[in-house]
Amino acid sequence: MRAFVFPGQGSQKVGMGVELAEASAVARAVFEEVDEALSHKLSAIMREGPEDQLTLTENAQPAIMANAIATLRVLEEDFGVKLAEVGDCVAGHSLGEYTALCAVGAFDLATTARLLKLRGQAMQSAVPVGEGAMAALLGADIDTATALAAAAAQGQVCEVANDNDPGQVVISGHKGAIERAIAMVKDHGIKRGVLLPVSAPFHCSLMQPAADRMAEALAETSPGALALPLYANVTASKVTDPEEERALLVEQVTGRVRWRESVANMHADGFASFVELGGKVLTPMIRKIADEAETASLIAMEHLEAFAKSM
């Protein structure tokens, strides 16, 4: 069985989608529809920058989604490979869960773009700039990372945000607590702690104001039926019910991204092939989690053509 997966924040870069847009009217239509939905020329920022504008959370989230959906639409419409016919489930990392829902028809493209822009704005404004931080713990498993976070908290928030793969865990919380955690990594047998260049402490309890805003938005915009099952970030389990998924999307804002467990569960459930659309961030993680699985990253037209020929 085959899983299609969608990348999260950090996979953006200036120039993303340019080759697809130049080669395919289908891709251009996706970028134009997102621009119209947001009343903002996001495609121009994706194409030309400046980089600091693209990395703004409210721009990066819909941009990464738009690039991945453009890649999917080109695969489906230009190469005739339909996700619902060749795939058996979907999953996405953080904002990628929204992309996955768009890919299986639970949200239309314009709705997904608007939800992600709001999500980016809400997450950015939940904590004043400079008060929060995130750090990647390299050479850490979930148990050592959890112990380190608890030791570094000292009355502040310091929580596991992303369990990415067997050797990489991300923590999130108050800046002081995250800095303490980085200083304490060797004491916990962790190779290294790296402060991440993010503007807010995502996926921790400090994001509750953002979760509240997303709860309001999703109350008015519930996902529709899913063409394929989705493995949700916060449970690492298969979801088919739109109402259950709506609640999980709210919980996801403050909850841990259980990516390692999601991939491990998919693999245990019989998924032997993983295809990343619009990025190559998740593929290396998947190889560390399920080293026997086949993986592919589809970014450029040549990747899509080769994948279509293999079907």
Which residues are designated catalytic?
94, 203
Q: Is 184 helix (H, G, I), strand (E, B) or coil?
A: coil
Q: 72-111: string of b/e by CB count within 10 Å (b at 16+)?
A: bbbbbebbebebeebbbbbbbbbbbbbbbbbbbebbebeb
Structure tokens at 153: 């908290």
Specify the amino acid at residue 30. V
Residue 50 CB partners (closer than 8 Å, separation 6+): 14
User: Pairing mode, if any, of strands 168-174 and 158-165?
Assistant: antiparallel
Distance CA 205, CA 207 (A): 5
CA 253, 256, 257, 263: dihedral to nearest 10 degrees? -150
